[in-house]
A and B are shown apart, each in its own frame.
Chain A
Amino acid sequence: MPIRPPDLVLAPILPELVLAGVAMLILLVDAARPSRGGRAMAVVAFVGVLGAAAVVLRQWHVPAADDLTVLGGMVAVDRFALFFRLVILGCAALGVLLGAHYLERTGEGRGEYYALLLFATAGMTLLASAADLIVVFLALEVLSLSLYVLTGFSWSRLASQEASLKYFLLGAFSSAFFLYGIALAYGAAGTTSLGGIAEALSGPGQSTALALAAGGLLIVGFSFKVAAVPFHMWTPDVYQGAPSPVTAFMAAGTKVAGFAALIRVTTVALGPVSWELLPALVAVSALTMVVGSILAIAQDDVKRMLAYSSIAHAGFVLVGVAAANQEGVSGSMFYLVAYAAMILGSFAVVIVVSRTGEGRTSLRSYRGLARRNPVLGALLALFLLSLAGIPPTAGFIAKVLVFEAAVRAGLEGLVVVAVLASVVAAFFYIRLIVLAYMEDPEETERVPAEAAPGVALGVAAALTLVLGILPGLLLDPLQNAAVLRW
């Protein structure tokens, strides 16, 4: 087979190039003038994210030619990818804001934070558009390596170091699973391109066993990244140990990007064997919801509780993925946006309550929060209610959408498990609201309002509320973004 060099049209990955370019610029400047960390770099990074978002928006309005996959079939720039890129860039923007505030307080404001965050973002957006397993793997590594370092960013805090090491070891482990899956997929299909695999698998006389093994390993690899049970062990420790803005960015961004790739791989490449893989997806989904919700009850640290909550939410998104119909895809996409908004918002509250570093993350610190700062208390309640799926919030609509898709796919049993899990989950969200609203505060001092987290909180709260009341604003564009072609 003659090797044809791909035509080098780089426009489709322009957002990633912008992100990586700005990241390298920050690294260079930081190396030259290390004292200038802090605020200036935050501004540069924020502008970089906005620039990338502008490029994506332009791509949205000027659709690519008929050929949806570019760069030799390596990258897809369909609306599905563009949509996820935008969501991820939104998470990154809030991550920059929260980080700038947090690092200023702890005095750890160094340029690398922004550079690493932008690299991770580039990895995530690339992951959302990857149309070939090799690119999926590359993107996963780009985002993971950056996040390993970011997790250990507070090098004076032992928990942060420990979390980083744990994340790295388990992450490397999951990469091995994923690579093995790629190898088996290549063995089964003779190609690593998602479309090619689908074509090969739907042909006659294919070895289903090999394809199933490949599919299973790929799903295991993704399950690590999106923190689905039983591959969730790293999550609570890492979410607790990492600096809060990193946790916020990671909890939202990694899950969104991981699911983007998971959805694309399962619906496109593994589409022909989706029926055989369904039991695995259903089992992982049910386990994730139940285990995440139940273990969250036992936590007495807010970040750990939110970590288990984020595990449980991975299970709910998987309900939509398992449904494997178009409603399921658009439902999962809606769910991910809602989830990103509410989890970022929740961690923003954690950051404001902690004031400096990780000082006040035990549940006790939330006693009487509503009296010490009514607005912050109300925002926390809003995010928690949304996480619990109580109307009129985005979390409720998101659940309705994925449940409806699953009912349509005949998965009523899974939906029943899901609603029961959400009742269990309501228990611990409510407990935090009880602390914030119904108990007397331990400290009487007012929790001060903060500018940068304030913006993040405002954006997240607006999304949580608006998407809960007028979900059509997002659902309408989703109708043509949820169509996956190859």
Chain B
Amino acid sequence: MTGGFPWLTVTVFLPLVGAVALLAAAPLPRRRPEAGGFAGEDPWRWLALLVSIATFVVSLGILTEFRAEPGFQLVEDLDWIGPLNIRYVLGVDGISLFMVLLTTFLMPLAILASWRVDRQVPYFMASLLALETAVLGAFVALDLLLFFVFFEGLLFPMYLVIGIWGSGRRVYAAVKFFLFTMAGSALLLVAILFLAFRAESALGQVTFDLRELVGMDLPAATARWLFLAFFLAFAVKVPLFPLHTWLPDAHTEAPTAGSVILAGVLLKIGAYGLIRFNLTLFPGASEDFRGLVITLAVIGIVYGAVVALIQTDIKRLVAYSSVSHLGFVVMGIFAGTLQGMSGGVIQMVNHGLSTGALFLLVGLLYDRTHTRDLDRLGGLARRTPVLAGFFLVVALSSLGLPGLNGFVGEFLILLGTFDASRLPAVIGATGVILSAIYLLWAYQRSMHGDLPSELESTPDLSVREYAFMVPIVLAIVAIGVFPKPLLDRIEPAADRHVRLIAVDPASADAVRATGGG
């Protein structure tokens, strides 16, 4: 316990307080929709928005308190379940810091984008805020069981968001999401318990504290089994090929806010878990399995991109592009070089912003045209030039155009992987080309060409829509032009992690040169 203001606890639980307030207030009598139209639901929306903005503001406090050093900061450490020595330990390092900020940044935008959700509004907003608490908690928990609590805790709110407020086959998608994730994490619990129990003989007492478990001596075979149990849980979440099949369904059927949070943040928990737990706890096994993981990642890159090429549903296209992009992230993380790791982490942030923005745009398109079918779209650039402009910037960012955020991450990942092993980098690079094709093609098919007659009177962005598109595009440009502040903070932590499985630990200078430029 370092004393001081509990920044992390407040950030994590503020949304939950908002969610509980919404749930408690929901049954209160209010104006019926007949009387005041949707205005009757506005207080819920504003309350949720204010809570999420407040959370973002508090999380900026974490940023100002944070110093660019390796190791965990702002640590809070309290007893939770005494007899088992399960503790309430929170802390951030350079890797989780930006995951937290990404989450708190995207949530207000997602809420703004769901202003038109008009069924059971307080419950929708409460689900989103509860989800935010679970996600933030998973990013800052340093006790393995506490992490598991948050990790499992995010299932149910997300399940509700997809299953109640989704479209089409929402129930199927929600159940698939739930069961895939639950099945993936079942063995994680066993592995965590086993690890904690082994700590008793190795460290003298049962502990679930990540900081104490690091560097514990495990027999190689045991470590491999444990690695696989952890890996399965996170690979489902990432998702890595061939465990990705829940993702297109979940993304496609989820409401806009759900897709944004799912793509922007939830998938990151998988990649984050691989770094935080797999690499840290089982460095030896990580090396053993590196070939397998990178192979799966490369298959995911190419497979996701190829399948994205043939989609006509634009939301499904973006979903498959996530499979491809997350493949890059995992490849970078397991490359074993500092560039790869830093690139992987920064690409997690970038993917959150770019894909989050893409889903916001798809939501905007759908609100206007009531279709996600690219064959039924076209020529919208003439009617909605601003929307088209945002679409182009975001698509370019997602495909990794230099000067926008996507480039920095992808470049570092490819560089880092190339240093370690050439073939995956070369094959992975085709994913960059393919992503240029499918994203620009999607842009062309929706924005250029003939305008279908029923889309003649499509309106351009409203003030509310500017309010959530402008910040995210600003962030995209800012990181693209000046990634140094991010890299400076990510690097010490990335370096610490990469040393565990490093091929070439002395490559820290190279990344500085690249990142600074």
Contacts and interface: CB of A to CB of B under 8 A. Distances in A.
B152 A412 contact: no
Contacts of B84: 400-401, 404
B187 interface: yes
A390 B153 contact: yes
Contacts of A452: none
B190 A407 contact: yes
B53 interface: no
B193 A434 contact: no
A330 interface: yes
Nearest to A421: B186
B252 to A, nearest CB: 17
Interface string A415-434: 11001101100110011001
A434 B163 contact: yes
B197 interface: yes
Contacts of A439: 171
Contacts of A339: none
Most A-side CB within 10 Å, residue of B83, B145, B196, B197: B83
A383 interface: no
B160 interface: yes
B503 interface: no
Nearest to B83: A475
Given A400-B145, A430-B179, A437-B163, A419 B153 contact: no
Contact of B197 (A391, A401, A408, A427): A408
A438 B178 CA distance: 14
Nearest to B82: A472
Interface centre among B120, B160, B190 (most CB of A within 10 A): B190
Interface in B120-162: 120, 123, 145, 148-150, 152-153, 155-156, 159-160
Given A438-B170, A438-B171, A423 B123 contact: no
Interface string B184-226: 0011011001101100000000000000000000000000000
A471 interface: yes
Given A374-B26, A404-B84, A438-B171, A415 B193 contact: yes
Nearest to B229: A416
Contact of A419 (B82, B174, B186): B186
Contact of A392 (B81, B149, B190, B197): B149
A479 B83 contact: yes
A298 interface: no
Given A391-B148, A430-B178, A437-B164, A422 B186 contact: yes
Given A415-B193, A471-B81, A475-B81, A391 B149 contact: yes
Interface in B62-95: 79-84
Interface residues of A, number: 40
A381 B156 CA distance: 10
A374 B160 CA distance: 14
Interface string A336-361: 00000000000000000000000000
A462 interface: no
Interface in A382-403: 385, 390-392, 396-397, 399-401, 403
A59 to B, nearest CB: 24
A385 B160 CA distance: 13
Contacts of B182: 423, 426
A423 B153 CA distance: 15
Contacts of B159: 430
Contacts of A399: 189
Contact of A391 (B153, B163, B175, B186): B153
Interface residues of B, number: 39
Nearest to B188: A419
Given A404-B84, A408-B197, A374 B186 contact: no
Given A374-B123, A426-B178, A390 B155 contact: yes
Contacts of B178: 426, 430
B183 interface: yes
Given A438-B174, A472-B80, A392 B153 contact: yes
A475 B190 CA distance: 21
A223 B284 CA distance: 45
A392 B170 CA distance: 25
B27 interface: yes
Interface in A47-97: none
A99 B501 CA distance: 63
A479 B84 CA distance: 11
A217 B197 CA distance: 34
Interface in A213-257: none
Contact of B187 (A330, A419, A430): A419
Contact of A475 (B82, B145, B148, B164): B82
Contacts of A169: none
Given A437-B160, A438-B171, A479-B83, A415 B152 contact: no
Contacts of A327: 83
Contacts of A438: 163-164, 170-171, 174
B233 to A, nearest CB: 11
A430 B153 contact: no
A429 to B, nearest CB: 10
A278 to B, nearest CB: 18
17 contacts: A374-B123, A381-B156, A391-B150, A397-B81, A401-B84, A403-B190, A404-B193, A422-B186, A426-B179, A427-B179, A430-B179, A434-B171, A438-B163, A438-B164, A438-B174, A439-B171, A476-B83
Given A330-B83, A374-B26, 19 more contacts: A375-B27, A385-B156, A390-B155, A390-B156, A391-B148, A391-B149, A391-B150, A392-B149, A392-B153, A397-B81, A399-B189, A403-B189, A404-B193, A427-B179, A430-B159, A434-B174, A438-B171, A438-B174, A471-B81
